[in-house]
Chain A
């Protein structure tokens, strides 16, 4: 299987950040994250557990259910062993912060790893975004964070975020605590660590030049002496993504915006209704 798409490569990079045994928390509106979680489970992290839908529903499943837009909650519930109240979600995050992995998608990220999903200021106006939800709460608690940015542009990779929602490494730089933020974009994988003090390149995706990254980043990135190329997806990874985990290509919605996304979504929805009706529900344990 050849010819991966940018979103497939990003998903593979995201899945590789999952460690076996992790608790994988899914926030709002993140189909790429859920595809990456299922991929990690199906490959190197079979003992990772999913907390889906803003951390509410704890799922144990060997056979990943196909990723869904329309039946996200229904599929999660079919495979759930527990449903948390909101306080229980945070009790889990606080107790298990060291082994939780959660993929955030920031609207803006700066060189220190601060994130913004709240508002964009321009010289003339302000754009109100949905809000950071739980990101500002938990970002400093995770020793290991992963952000993903399908669009690597200067308006996303900014020198300073317009609004500090999620916290980057500034506090860790002062206190000396260990923290690493991995950032996966359409062009490469990057990392932010207190020791280096700002964003650096981990690897560049095949076919992408250093110039492209520099041109599309709103600040100076640290460039290592030897630049490594991102390992492309394997045949197995691609087959799992395309045939098992996300046969409807829901992942691609995150690469689109505006009317383009709406059109793609409408095409998907009818297929989803048909697929859901024909997929058998997972077998329940009987007494």
Chain B
């Protein structure tokens, strides 16, 4: 901390200076346990999940939300995968907004699909643009983003967004309204205790999600000293946007976290088979509800499976 040297010499004392209310977003230690951070997410809240499909999903937080029995969550997800599917499997979700929910090469998200088809989850299909535009409107203090994209598609009908004539050209435009989640949860490779964060590989929409959401929780593979974050070109989310940080090694499993580990397709295949064969409850008991922490989940997954997806530098 820059103030430390002066502080130890008695030149300044932090307590003598009243901290501006807003300052808590900038340089306040925000390190919490997974459990403490999960308490920022309440039943029925509008929750954005970062990552992309089977990449860098904040799975440790998803497990915590399931273990502490969250209900009626309203999810906003750019590309959903095991995150949305697991929450759907336990009935923790009231609605989902997403541009994609699936397991990529492994196909459909089994529990999500069933819940949508049976009407248990209200699903609104977005596209990459409609999510981006809504988040941009929030982050950029615009009431809406005007654009002609999606006119003529059933996606726009499903979204129910209003169209209007451009005051400049008379062209028909869509008003993409603000999207402002209550909480965003992201999994990152690295951050410091203040929330300065580095996201590597597929960034997807995570940075924008953080900027448009009321509260932001970053779970990270590693929490490092602030000195280690002094690589401005690599720190792509500054602490001003982050409210809580949680250290969670292997916290994206079974999804990937470049460059540390790739996705555990073996685990996801067995997950999908559990669902297909009516053995979803067994899966949940063995890996989620029946264990008391994400570390215990990883132990259940097993050392060999973890070793298999770890990627050593070549």
Interface residues of A, Cβ cutoff 8 Å to B: 28-29, 31, 53-54, 56-57, 69-71, 73-74, 77, 83-87, 89-90, 118, 125-137, 140, 163-167, 170-171, 253, 257-258, 261-262, 265-266, 269, 273, 276-277, 279-281
Contact = CB atoms under 8 A, between A and B. Distances in A.
Contact of A136 (B52, B155, B256): B155
Given A133-B127, A134-B129, A281 B116 contact: no
Contacts of B202: 53-54, 56-57, 73, 83
Interface string B88-113: 00000000001111101111110011
Contacts of A281: 314
Contacts of B153: 136, 164-167
Contacts, number: 154
A70 B269 CA distance: 13
B100 A131 contact: yes
Interface of B: 52-53, 55, 78-79, 98-102, 104-109, 112-113, 116-117, 123, 125, 127-130, 132, 136, 149-150, 152-155, 200-205, 207-208, 236, 256, 258-259, 262-263, 265-266, 269, 273, 308, 311, 314
B265 A265 contact: yes
Given A86-B78, A87-B136, A164-B152, A253 B105 contact: yes
B79 A29 contact: no
21 contacts: A28-B79, A54-B79, A54-B202, A56-B52, A74-B262, A83-B200, A83-B202, A83-B203, A128-B113, A130-B109, A131-B100, A131-B102, A133-B79, A136-B150, A164-B153, A166-B153, A167-B152, A171-B152, A265-B105, A265-B106, A276-B311
Contacts of B154: 118, 163-165
Contacts of B205: 85-86
Given A56-B202, A134-B99, A126 B117 contact: yes
Contact of B108 (A31, A86, A130): A130
A84 B203 contact: yes
A90 to B, nearest CB: 7
A143 B69 CA distance: 49
A125 B53 CA distance: 26
A86 B203 contact: yes
